[in-house]
Amino acid sequence: MLPCSPGPQTLAQLRGHSNYLAVMEALDPAVRTCSLAQAMRGSALIGNIAGVLALLDAGVPATSSDLEAALISVQPGGLAAARLLFDAGARLAHVH
């Protein structure tokens, strides 16, 4: 047997809970855009070329300093990945 549906008071309490508010904040497009930009910068700084490329392909805008940081952090063996990143950035520059 299923429990009774929560009443309006219970739902109001849940909607006021910090966990609920944190999830709603994460779903806010303005916050999400900021988080994605931070993910782009972080990926660039640690040389996560695949991460940067995935974010670019997903449409996350990158600044030239993000792309520069990613290129600088690439190890010599990762020049092919750097070229992919450069090409992806160039493609996006033409789209925007």
Look at 29 and 79; give whichever has higher pLDDT.
29
Query: DSSP for 26-64?
Result: HH-HHHHHHHHHHHHHHHHHTT-HHHHHHHHHTT----H
8 A C-beta contact, residue 44 and residue 66: yes
Tokens of 64: 């030239």
Look at 43 and 87; give whichever has higher pLDDT.
43
* C-alpha 81 chain-centroid distance: 20
- Residue 47: the pLDDT is 76
- Residue 3: the pLDDT is 61
Mean pLDDT over the full length of the chain:
74
In whole angstroms, what is the distance from residue 69 CA to residue 52 CA?
A: 11
Tokens of 37: 């930009």
Q: 41-65 pLDDT, tens per residue?
A: 888 888 777 787 788 877 887 787 8
For the chain, the domains span 8-95
- Residue 21: the pLDDT is 82
pTM greater than 0.75: no
